[in-house]
Structure 1
Amino acid sequence: MFAPFPEEKARKYCAELMQQLDIEQRIDFETPIKKSNQAFSTNNICQKNGLGQMFGICVCINQKNEEIVLKAFSGQFNSIWNVSGWVPALLDTKKFAEITKDSDLLIHQLTDEIESLNLEIKTLEKKYTEKKADYYQLQELKKLRRTKSALQKKRKTLSQNSMSEIFELYKFFCADGNSITFKDIFKDGTQPPSGCGECCAPKLLSFAFEHKLTPISLAEFYYGTEPASKKKIHKSFYTPCDEKCAPILPYILGLEILYQDESIVVINKPSGLLTIPGRGENKIDSVTTRLKKIFPNCIEQPSVHRLDMDTSGILVLALDKESHKNLSIQFMEGNVYKKYFSFLSRKPYFGKGCTLNTTKNKTISGKIELPFRLDVENRPHQIYDEIFGKWGTTNFQLLMKSETAEILHHFNLSKKQLESFEKQNVFIPISFEPKTGRTHQLRLHSSSIHGLNAPIIGDNLYGTQNENERLMLHAAELSFNHPKTKERIFFKT
C-alpha cells in the first residue's frame, strides 16, 4: 500500500537509527553497554541462518508543537515483545503469555505425534510401493492415515482457537480519539491474517493517537539477514504491507489513503461516509473532517469534488489553496477522467436520452444525455426537466457477466452484503464515464425512463434497497493533471 504520510523526515531519522544499530549492535539503547543483555543483540537478526526484521520511525508533533520521534520494531525481537525506548506491542503481553503457555504445549505435543506417525506411514508406504505389504499392514496404513488426519484437524482447531483468543487482546487507538479491536475491523468474524497488528506502522500510529500526538512523517526499513526470496533487502525502505497493514490502517486513520504528497491526498471513500459535513451533529463525520484530523495544516475546505454518501470510490482532496483552485478548474473544464463500476437491477430499456454506439462486436455501449434539476418538494431527489434542468452527459458500456467477480472486488462488500447481492435474480454489470458532474447524475441516468430505465441495485432514492444492501456504485478510476507538477496521474482501486 502507499505510504500514508510523507517519508522524507522519518527517513532521516531511520538513517540515524540504522547507524546506531550498526555501531552498538543492539536495540536496548537505554541500557548501559556493560549491562546490555545478549537477548537484545542485533546478532539475533543478522546471523547467516537467521532472518532480519522491520523497523520504523514516526515523527510527530505534540500539543506544545514540539517534535517527538517514535520508533518501533515489528512483532517480537528475539521473542521479546517490549523493549524500553521502543513503542510497545498493541496487545496485552501478559495475557498473551497465559494463552500461549497452554496452547503451544498442546500444539507441540500434537506436532510430535504427527511426526511420529509420519515415520510409521512412510515405512508402510515404502512396503506398499515395493509390494511387500500384507493385508494387515495395508489396514494399519489406512488407520494411521486416519489418525494423522484427525490429529491435524485437532491441531488446526486448537491453533485457530488460540489465535482467536490472541486477536481479542489487540487494541488500536485511532485518529478520531476512539479505540477499536479486530472485531470492529473484521466485522464478519473473519480471522485476521497471522501477524496482523504486529507491523511497525499500526504500532507507531496507534501509540501516537493514544498519546494525542499528530503524525507528520512515517518510514520503515528492513534490517538484518535477507530472506532467500530477496523480497526484503538489508537497509532498504518499504511502505506498509498489503497483507497485514492494509486491512488495519484505514480504520486507525479513518481513511484509506491511496496517495499523498504536499499538495494532494487521494483516498478510497467507503460507502456510508459523507464527502463533506452536513447539517446537524449526526452529519459532522465526513471525509474532510477525518482528513483534517490526519493533516491538520490542510485548508478549511479541501474537497474539490464529491461522491454521494452511499457511493464508494476514489476522491482527490487538495491540501493548499493553489492546488484546490487548479483541480477545481480541471473538474469544471472536463479535464478529469472518471470511471465507475455499477450493477443495474434489471435489463436496461434505452429511452430517448440514449444514443447507442454502432459496433461490430456484441458489446453494447453508448451515451446518455438528460436535463434534470433538484426536486424542491422532495429533496434531495433530482427530476427530469426539459425546461429548467441542466444537461448531464454520461458514456456507458454494458459489461459481460463473466466480469462480475472482478468488478465486485472493487466494492469491498461485507459477508452479509455479498450474500444479499448473490440473491439478486438479475444484475447487469455496467461501467460509466461521466462527462459532467451533476448531483446524482449516474443514479438518475440509470433509473430514468428517458435513460436506461434500470435503477442501480441498492439505490434507496431512485430504486429499492433491501436489507444488508448497499448502493452498487463505485468510483474505480480517476485521472487528472497534478496541480503542481502538471504530470498526468492515474489512480484505480
Structure 2
Amino acid sequence: MTPTKTSIATCFIPFKGVIDSYALPERFTFPFYYEPHPLSILAAKELQEYLEQQTDWEHNFGLDENQEGSVIGKMFGVMVVKNEQNEIGYLAAFSGKLAEKNIHPLFVPPIFDMLEEDSFFLIGIKELTQINNRIESLESNPEFLELSRLLKTETESATKKLEEQKLKMSEAKKVRKLERKKIESENLDAASLEIKMNALVRESLKDKFLLRELTEYLEEGISVIKQKLNHYTSEISALKEARKEKSADLQQQLFDQYHFLNNNGETKSLCEIFEKTALLKPPAAAGECAAPKLLQYAYLNNLQPIAMAEFWWGESPKSEIRKHGQFYPACRGKCEPILGHMLEGLPVDENPLLVNPALGVEIETIYEDDFLAIINKPAEFLSVPGINIMDSVYERMKLKYPTATGPLIVHRLDMATSGLMLIAKDKDTHKLLQSQFIKRTVKKRYIALLDGIVADAEGEIDLPLRIDLEDRPRQLVCYEYGKRAVTKFKVIERTDKQTRIHFWPITGRTHQLRMHASHSLGLNAPIVGDDLYGTKASRLHLHAEWIEFKHPVTKETMTFQVNPDF
C-alpha cells in the first residue's frame, strides 16, 4: 500500500500504522550531524516504499538498468511534524527537481516554482537558449571554421618564417663579427678600414630591412584573414557578453523570489542570508534542497517540526560518494546559512561537533628519547587544535614537554583515525623528520575494516581528490582540478560481509583512504564507522598501525607497530 496522494495544500502524511510506542524527541534534529530518530526512519521507510511502487511519474534513478534516460540520483527528505489537531505525521520533499518538475503529489512544493508555465525563469531560459543557438550556429559556420583554421595555419607559418629569418640574421651577425676582427687585424689605412666597416654595416641594415619587410608582408596577409573573421568573432563576443549579463540578471531575479521563514515568524531573503557569509552571495540552486522546503512548508501550515532526516535514492554521482538508501546530513555550502536562519526559535539538538570526544582520554606513548616520541593517537582525537575544540595531540604534547621547541607535530592523522604519530621535541629533529616525509622515505601502513567484500587480493587505487566546496569537509573525485591521490592495498581476510585490509598511502590527501575505500571507482566498500562516506558506528575502523623511518640523530632505522582495538 502506498501513501495517499495529497494536494499541495495537504502534504501532511499520516503514518500507516500505530506509532503510540514511539517517544517523541525533546528537540529537533541538528541537521548537519545526526542519528535519525526512529520516527524519521519509519517515515523514510514509508517514502522509500512509495518510490519503489509509484506510477505517478518517471525518473531514472539508475536502479533499473533497462530504464532509458539520463541517470540522476536524488536526495529526499522527511520531516516528522505535529498538526493543529495534535496528530503526528510527516512531510516529504526532494532536492532540486524530480522528473523535470518541481511539483508532484505527496511532496511539499518548492520555495518558489521556477518551472511554472510562462514564468520569468522559463522565458529567460528560452532567451538564453536562443543566444546559445545563435553562438553555436556562428561557431559551426563552414566559413568561420575555415577562416579560423586558415588564421591558425598562417600565424604558425609566419612565426616559423620569422624565426628562420632571425636565425639567419643571427648567423650573419656572427660572421660579420669575425670579419670585423679580421679587418681590424689587417693594419689597413683609415680610408680602407672605413670602407670595409661600412660594408658590414650595410649588410646589417639590409638584414634588418628584410626582416621588417617580411614582417609587414606576413602581418598584412594575416590581417586580411582577421578582417574576414571579425565578421563572426565580433558578433560571437557580443552574444557571449549579452549571455553573461542576462544569465546574471536572471540568477539575481531568481534569488529575489526566495524568502525563508523561521520558527519566530521572521522572514529573510536569500541574499540577506548569504550577504553575511564568506561567499557574500548565494550559490546556484541555494534554497532548492529538501530541508529548507520541509521547514518552509511546516511554518506556512502551522505544523510543528519534530524530527528530520535525508536519504539518497539511486545511483551515486561519479564525483561524490552517495550510497542508495543511506541517510546523510544537510549540505553545508548551500543549507547551513539558510537553516541557520530557519531554525531560529526552534529547540534544536546540540551540535555534537562542538563536544570534545577526547575529554578524559589519555594518549599512550610507545617510545621516547631526548629527540622524539612515538604516540598512539586514540580515535576521535584531534591532531591539532580545531576551530571549536582546542584539546588535541598538539596541546597535550605541549603540556607533556613544556621545554620542547618547534612545532612538535611532524605529521597528522584525521580526527577519527587512530594510530601511530611522530612527535619532535626540537626544531632540528622536526625539520629532519619532515624532510623524510617530503621525500617519501617514511613508510606507513594502515589497517582498516571495510563494510563489503573486496574481490581483488591486492592492487593500487589512483583517484584524484579535491574538497567539495559546497559541503566541506567532504572530498570529491575530480580529474580536472583534483590532486593526484594513490593508495596501495592488500586484503588480509574476508568474512561474509566485511574485508580486513592493509593500506599504504603513496600520497597524503585529506580523507584519501576513506574516499578510496568507499568510492565506486575505488574499492566500493566504505570503512566501517565512516560517518562521511559510509555508515556511522562506534568509531571509524581505520588505524595507522605501522611506521618505519630513520632516526634523525642516530641514523638508525626505526620500526614501530601497534595493533588496532577492532
Shorter-chain TM band: 0.3 to 0.5
TM-score (norm 1): 0.48
Question: Who wins on radius of gyration, i.e. which is larger?
Answer: 2
TM-score (norm 2): 0.42
